[in-house]
Amino acid sequence: MNFTDWDERCMALALEEATRAADRGEVPVGAVLTRGEEVLAHCGNAQIDLNDPTAHAEIRVLREAGVRGGNYRLPDTTLYVTLEPCTMCCGALVHARISNLIFAAREPRAGAVVSAGATLDHAALNHRVAWQEGLLSDESAALLQQFFKARRVEKPQS
């Protein structure tokens, strides 16, 4: 895994977005979309805030960058996300023509890049998203573990 200083800065920004999401009671996932060394958009999860099951961090940055750029196609871009994307998000990456995906931690239950499926590597897809994993994975995993541990403590026992 050859990650650059830019990659680390972008994933750190994604972790900041994940922390903000956690502060709002959302599952702490953050995403950053870049083209070259320009940040096009950065967001965290907002399904609860927006009452929208599709308001994953990845979808939100694609929407924001598409609106700002006036095009739903986002070629020559890199998406940084703190957690392995699900099937929905992988599909959106393909449709948006994202070039590269870098994610921090694996999602063993719903991760569709490598954990529970290999969606981005499916032979029938008309676009390939190159991907790498592991950048700041310990920090991302720790944030998720803290969030869910706190939720278990808050939940009354029956």
User: Annotated active-site positions, please?
Assistant: 58
Q: Is 54 helix (H, G, I), strand (E, B) or coil?
A: coil
Phi, psi for 128 (deg, rounded to 5): -110, 130
Helices (H), 24-156: 47-50, 57-69, 87-96, 137-154
8 Å CB contact between 30 and 57: yes
Encode 81-104: b = buried (16+ Cβ within 10 Å), e = exposed. Answer: bbbbbbebbbebbbebbbbbbbbb
